[in-house]
């Protein structure tokens, strides 16, 4: 594991186009989205940082799932990390009662477009004046980590979600997430990411 921070994709970036299979068996693309805000959560099954926040992901699903389009996205290489395969992801979602679609980004195209660097990492988009989903928040869920005593409450992401839903601007002072590095397919690490172990 390489402890890795978010790259902090530029705010106002448009939601990248995608078409990915969900572990439930369907496929989801931009064409399936409505005008509600979109929250992409780059997570996986094996990362201890993700395991630490699983209870809060369940609470977010319960609290915001009817007003925000939530998606789990697993982009880790299945070549090097088969423990993040579709069966393991489906089991993780089932155990925690997640109702949001869990997308398998096996070719890592969405991760590259988001400049995703770690798990977990969060990207909140909402429509701009022209109806285009634009990035309002990226970074950490909250300050809680497996190794500290900070409460797991999603305070940073929840503040951004609340602002977007009220039509208020999101505070641009945002803190990078930190976690396990995205496990890129061998020899295909993005140039901007570097060569993480």
- Mean pLDDT score of the chain: 93
Residue 69 has pLDDT above 70, yes or no: yes
d(CA 155, CA 142): 5
Q: Checking DSSP bridges between strand 27-29 and strand 19-21, what pairing results, if any?
A: antiparallel
Percent of the chain with pLDDT over 90: 84
Mean pLDDT of the 72-95 span: 95
Per-residue pLDDT band for 31 (boundaries 50, 70, 90) equals confident
Mean pLDDT of the 73-77 span: 96
pLDDT at 144: 94
Mean pLDDT of the 170-176 span: 97
Order of strands, sheet of 178-181, starting from the edge strand that comes earlier in the sequence: 3-5, 178-181, 118-119
Q: What is the 3-state secondary structure (H, E, C) of 108-124?
A: CHHHHHHCCCEECEEEE
d(CA 128, CA 165): 13
Residue 197 has pLDDT above 60, yes or no: no
pLDDT at 194: 56
The two structure tokens encoding residue 57: 């992901």
CB 107 within 8 A of CB 76: no
Residue 1 has pLDDT above 60, yes or no: no
d(CA 121, CA 127): 20
* Chain centroid offset of residue 196 CA: 20
Q: Which domains does the chain have, with CATH numbers?
A: 3-181 (3.40.30.10)
Over the stretch 111-142, which tens digit does the pLDDT of each residue have? 999 999 999 999 999 998 787 999 999 999 99
The whole-model pTM stands at 0.95
How far lies 170's CA from each of 19, 21, 141, 165, in Å? Answer: 28, 31, 14, 10
Phi/psi at 122 (nearest 5 deg)? -125, 140
d(CA 8, CA 123): 9
Mean pLDDT of the 161-166 span: 97
Residue 196 has pLDDT above 60, yes or no: no
d(CA 6, CA 116): 7
List Cβ neighbours of 82 (8 Å cut-off, separation of 6 or more).
Answer: none
């Amino acid at each position: 594991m390489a402890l890795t921070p978010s790259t902090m994709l530029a705010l106002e970036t448009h939601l990248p186009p995608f078409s990915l299979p969900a572990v439930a068996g369907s496929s989801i693309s931009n064409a399936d989205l409505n005008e509600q805000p979109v929250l992409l959560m780059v997570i996986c099954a094996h990362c201890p940082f993700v395991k630490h926040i699983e209870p809060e992901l369940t609470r977010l699903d319960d609290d915001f799932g009817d007003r925000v389009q939530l998606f789990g996205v697993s982009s880790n290489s299945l070549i090097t990390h088969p423990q993040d395969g579709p069966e393991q992801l489906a089991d993780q979602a089932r155990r925690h009662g997640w109702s949001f679609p869990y997308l398998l980004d096996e070719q890592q195209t969405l991760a590259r477009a988001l400049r995703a660097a770690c798990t977990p990492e969060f990207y909140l988009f909402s429509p701009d004046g022209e109806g285009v989903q634009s990035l309002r928040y990226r970074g950490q869920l909250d300050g809680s980590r497996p190794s500290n005593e900070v409460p797991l409450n999603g305070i940073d992401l929840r503040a951004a979600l609340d602002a977007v839903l009220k039509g208020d601007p999101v505070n641009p002072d945002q803190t990078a997430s930190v976690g396990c590095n995205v496990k890129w397919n061998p020899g295909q690490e993005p140039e901007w990411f570097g060569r993480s172990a």
